Structure 1
Amino acid sequence: MDDEFEEELPRSHEDIEPHELVTGLSSLALLREDMAMSSQSFNLAAVDKFIMVLEMNFLRSRLDDESPRDPGLSVFLVAQTEMWIFAAYELMRSWRERAKLVIKLVDNGGLAFKIDHLQAKPSWDYGRTMVARQLVRVRDEPALVQQLRDDLLRSHIPFHLLEWVRIQLAKHQEPGNAKSFIRSHPMMDRHTGSLNYELTQGPMIADTMSRRELADGLRALSDMQVPTAETIASFEEFRKAKEPTF
């Protein structure tokens, strides 16, 4: 068979090291300097590695007809998968909100005032002290502002794919449609054992996305180029896809 027709298989879970996810997330400007967000990135990486083993055991249990199936394994995998997706989404949401705040302060001339306000807080208020240090760094290193803008673009697609799956799991709705009601039924990826979820828009299934693919998207952040405006626009059209009319 010609190489162009061969399916590209995902990496073995044994070859993926936890530091790859930490490196991907830490490539986002200012995330590493935030102790809480940095700690969350290590937690996500540790649980990701644990879940990949569960996923492979789940896959093998489905391929081995002679071994009795353990219903507890599938239940536990579903629970761990959902919790990981929720945690990954919250970390990315928190970072993006911080990045947007910094950019807004720079653009409207409020950076110095915000720094003074935060530095006036008592020293035990570590959260505000930490943010103040980040803002001082932005003041002293103006190039960080453009890096934040670029990183918001780099993380746009991975974040909104996470958001798509997360909203369907947590709210049983489609993103941006509070009147919808859906129930996600995960399916097993035939290569990794990871749980696949349908990305729906009304009666349409736009695509499927597995937890492993979501994690791989975050791992890839460290090597990802800034997407073009055309790429972002194309993704937004994909997110808002409507049922075709004939």
Structure 2
Amino acid sequence: MAGLAENPFLAMQAQQLCLVDNVLMGMEQAVLGEMMADARPSGQRALLAALSPMWIYAAYELLRTWRQRAIEVVRLAENGGIDMRASHLEQKHGYTHYDRELRARQLRDAKDDPELVQRMRDDLARTEIGFTMLECIRVALAKHEEASSNKKKKPIAFAPGLALINRDCGSMEYEVSVGGAIIQYETRRGLAETLRQFPTMPVPSPEELADFRAYMNPPDFDAIDAGPTGGV
């Protein structure tokens, strides 16, 4: 994805995420074998249930950080603020700050290469759906809330932290709840496969993204059930 591989710190996080994913896939395969053989549950199932959320947290933070920086670059490129932001990052503080210098160079690169900015726009569109699903599960696990609601007071998640083992792949499977409904289920393995496909998947159209956002923000059924205020 544009701007990720060029940042050694983000690239290092991505490599670590892949290494942990490989370990978890091996555990998932072993657990699936246990289930198919009707073997007595081992401690590996409990360990898999404990480690899977840790991977989800790490995957979310990596994507969130990259998307936040890509959004900033696109915004600055559109409003002509790249030079000001880069100059601020380049200010001397009496010591070498590698990441500030790196970000300043990346901003200068974006100013000199409009195609890089467009690739960031495309990659932001590619990752929006997968990132949103990851965010929903992460917020339910970490905060016991729903992530997709626009309400100031976030609704309580249906069953935060609850996950069952998927009998097709051995991965932990989580509920995605929005409003008053469970809209779908996502496995950790499915999330990992989505991340792997980001660089090559087609760029969704604005209409497709608008439909997805509407899907993730259904009407407030509680308000509908309450009916209009006042009597007739």
TM-score by length of 1: 0.83
1:114 aligns with 2:85: yes
Following the alignment from structure 1 to structure 2, what is the Cα–Cα distance between the partners of residues 109 and 203?
43
Q: What code does the residue aligned with 1:95 have?
A: W
Following the alignment from structure 1 to structure 2, what is the Cα–Cα distance between the partners of residues 111 and 166?
32
Q: What code does the residue aligned with 2:188 have?
A: R
Contact 1:34 1:130 in 2 (8 A): yes
1:96 aligns with 2:54: no
Following the alignment from structure 1 to structure 2, what is the Cα–Cα distance between the partners of residues 116 and 167?
35
Contact 2:146 2:156 in 1 (8 A): yes
1:146 aligns with 2:118: yes
Following the alignment from structure 2 to structure 1, what is the Cα–Cα distance between the partners of residues 71 and 181?
32
Q: What code does the residue aligned with 2:4 have?
A: L
Contact 1:204 1:243 in 2 (8 A): no
1:126 to 90, 98, 102: 98
Following the alignment from structure 2 to structure 1, what is the Cα–Cα distance between the partners of residues 146 and 118?
32
Contact 1:201 1:242 in 2 (8 A): no
Q: What code does the residue aligned with 1:82 have?
A: P
3-state DSSP class of the match of 2:174?
strand
Q: What code does the residue aligned with 2:21 have?
A: D
RMSD: 1.8
Deviation at 1:74?
A: 1.7
> Which sits farther off after the overlay, 40-49 or 101-110?
101-110
Q: What code does the residue aligned with 2:192 have?
A: A
Task: Specify every segment of 5 or more residues in structure 1 that has no aligned partner in the other structure, as ranges.
Answer: 1-27
Following the alignment from structure 1 to structure 2, what is the Cα–Cα distance between the partners of residues 172 and 238?
21
Following the alignment from structure 2 to structure 1, what is the Cα–Cα distance between the partners of residues 155 and 135?
17
Q: What code does the residue aligned with 1:85 have?
A: I
1:218 aligns with 2:191: no
Following the alignment from structure 1 to structure 2, what is the Cα–Cα distance between the partners of residues 105 and 186?
41
Following the alignment from structure 2 to structure 1, what is the Cα–Cα distance between the partners of residues 88 and 22?
41
Alignment of 1:1-246 (within 5 A): 28-65=1-38, 67-70=39-42, 72-122=43-93, 124-175=96-147, 176=149, 178-184=154-160, 185-242=162-219
Deviation at 1:119?
A: 2.0
Deviation at 1:183?
A: 2.4
How many residue pairs get aligned? The number is 217
3-state DSSP class of the match of 1:187?
strand
- Residue deviations 1:50-93, cap 9 Å, x none? 1011111111112222x3321x2122101110000000000000
Identity %: 37
Task: Specify every segment of 5 or more residues in structure 2 that has no aligned partner in the other structure, as ranges.
Answer: 226-232
Contact 1:99 1:152 in 2 (8 A): yes
Contact 2:155 2:179 in 1 (8 A): no
Following the alignment from structure 1 to structure 2, what is the Cα–Cα distance between the partners of residues 243 and 196?
26
Contact 2:28 2:169 in 1 (8 A): yes
Contact 2:176 2:184 in 1 (8 A): yes
